[in-house]
Chain A
């Protein structure tokens, strides 16, 4: 059952990727609609998989690399689909769908052996911590995609080359404000993730903060995004600089997510074992 769901999700995401890429070339609304429905298909298949895993183990399934990656992909697809209900994101799908597909595919290559749930992990705070952090990460991934789109479009306009992407990408202002919205969402989620994580740590280990490498790097990431938001509110920072900052922020986030676990030790390490 789980394997069927995973296979279905991969198939849907793959088709959706194809759909979005065709959309970039053809610019037909109908193709976009189909690609979007396919992405929903993949998302639903993955949701079913996650629920079944949750029911089996009683935990949010993020106990090994396979599960963590799947959950990350699911968050990205979910956040993107949610944004798409509100904004006309269109071409962003051509960035998000392949990313999701790639992550799910990578996850499917890894060991799927479920890790026995440690009773210490059974906590509503931990569940909230995981969900908010992942939602935040997904929102930052969307912001990262938008930042890249912004930089490409900005280059086109600055260098006065009305090339392939000029017509296909949305206007600078729209990409910029969507990126801003994603970062606000990501930042709020990350903050909530900190709070819930700290509460959980207090309950389990008796302290809110323990200078674990993961915590420190998360804080660095949080500070980068905080600086970006601060400059935006105070000095009206937007456009190219904000986009570059969003990319730097995402790089820090990736390091926090993977790098810390591989290179440094800490209490998050087991969740990305493979």
Chain B
């Protein structure tokens, strides 16, 4: 059995490809059901955020599974394989474990230390447990990932000076507008991340706020928080006249604003600068808009470029984070190794033997008038009781019939007999 991680992230793939391969919540459900029905795959989990798509799989045969996943991805996303093949990375076993721990700890994030990723991974975990596509190994792996992430968070300074996307966006806005006092902002799509960015802007003096959202109720709710104006989607173009900064984060599949929406706006705006922050994947704002004079468009990848300079300072903290990840990976491997049949049976027998010997010693030392012959007979008796009791579980674990869910049974056996002595849970 192998743990397999196949995926792509902001480092391996440009935003255009990530856009193509991103999974919506519904898609994840469908994908997981399809995947777990494949004969190669035992357990499956799928993480899809704006910066990454990652499949976590347990399987017997790695090469077959990788091929299967690739063709599944090509078919499901209707994208030819050669387009994304080079951007994929494949990790096996230890490497996969370390990678997922890093992701959960936000060490692999575009903005190292940003807090959202853990929530996103928890959501992915919940989804796969609800659909029953993850089993004993992945569940255990994720619990371990959460505890590693928690340790990284509390024991290193990574989270403290985590610069969020919104922070970078505010810095940029200041490089364009200088003072943000009294400026206007429009929120298109009131997602969590976008609201966070708006909060940041508001704290820096932006006070004319408009909120547009597909569901108008949500727009009203968010606008109320910032004493702003809720508007309908159709009113976006008109409201652009009154704002300086636009934050967009809708789930739309197509560009919401294009070059020809903005170009004619600039003359009546008297060429006042306009700054678009596009944190949606797929993108909401046509990147061509950036070509218009005094208009600046930044998507998530672009913001990364601005943030990169902070990464240097955090290298040291990240190294401490890596150490915690390594520790976690080693502990997990120990547990995984224990799931093999032979060590479990050996451990089971050792445990029985230890108990038998201890009890025997206690009893024999209490009996004074006992011959050597009797003593041998008692020893033989206890040994055969142990053997008889352990016979059925041993046969069961060794039987090929239980192999499909072997992990589950072995784990159960270890729990029933309390064989995981150095378990930290």
User: In whole angstroms, what is the CA distance A171 to B302 when docked?
Assistant: 18
Contact with A along B300-312 (1 / 0, CB 8 A): 0010011011000
Are A170 and B293 within 8 A (Cβ)? no
Complex contact B175–A239 (CB within 8 A): no
A190 to B273, CA, bound (A): 30
Q: Which of A158, A170, A174 contacts B296 (CB 8 A)?
A: A158
Interface size class of B (residues with CB under 8 A): 20 to 34
Known: A160-B298, A171-B175, A171-B177. A239 touches B269 (CB 8 A): no
- Residue A265 at the chain B interface, CB threshold 8 Å: no
A166 contacts B by Cβ under 8 Å:
yes
Whether B302 lies near A160 (C-beta < 8 A) is: yes
Say yes or no: is B270 at the interface (Cβ < 8 Å to chain A).
yes
Report whether B305 and A172 are in contact in the complex, using a CB–CB cutoff of 8 Å: no
Asked if A235 meets B271 with Cβ closer than 8 Å, knowing A157-B296, A240-B294, the reply is: yes
A172 engages B175 (CB within 8 Å): yes
Whole-angstrom distance between the alpha carbons of A154 and B273 in the complex?
12
B residues less than 8 Å from A162 (CB atoms): 305-306, 308-309
Which residue on chain B has the smallest CB distance to residue A172?
Answer: B176
Q: In the complex the two chains form, is A239's CB within 8 Å of B273's CB?
A: yes
- The distance from the CB of B283 to the nearest CB of chain A, in whole angstroms, is 14
DSSP class of A's interface residues: helix, strand, loop or mixed? helix
Count of CB-CB pairs between chains A and B under 8 Å: 53
Contact of B172 with A by CB under 8 A: yes
Considering the chains assembled together, what is the distance between the CA atoms of A170 and B293 in angstroms? 19
We find that the number of chain A residues with CB closer than 8 angstroms to chain B is: 20
Q: Which A residues are in CB contact (< 8 Å) with B267?
A: 235
Q: Taking the complex as formed, is A173 at the interface, i.e. its CB lies under 8 A from any CB of chain B?
A: yes
Task: Report 28 cross-chain contacts, Cβ distance below 8 Å, ordered by A residue.
Answer: A153-B175, A157-B175, A160-B302, A160-B305, A160-B306, A162-B306, A162-B308, A166-B175, A167-B309, A170-B178, A171-B174, A171-B175, A171-B178, A172-B178, A172-B273, A173-B176, A173-B178, A174-B178, A235-B270, A236-B269, A236-B270, A236-B271, A237-B271, A238-B271, A238-B294, A239-B271, A239-B294, A240-B294
Residues of A in contact with B (beta carbons under 8 Å apart)? 153, 157-158, 160-162, 166-167, 170-174, 235-241
What residues of chain B have their CB less than 8 Å away from a CB belonging to chain A?
172, 174-179, 267, 269-273, 290, 293-294, 296, 298, 302, 305-306, 308-309
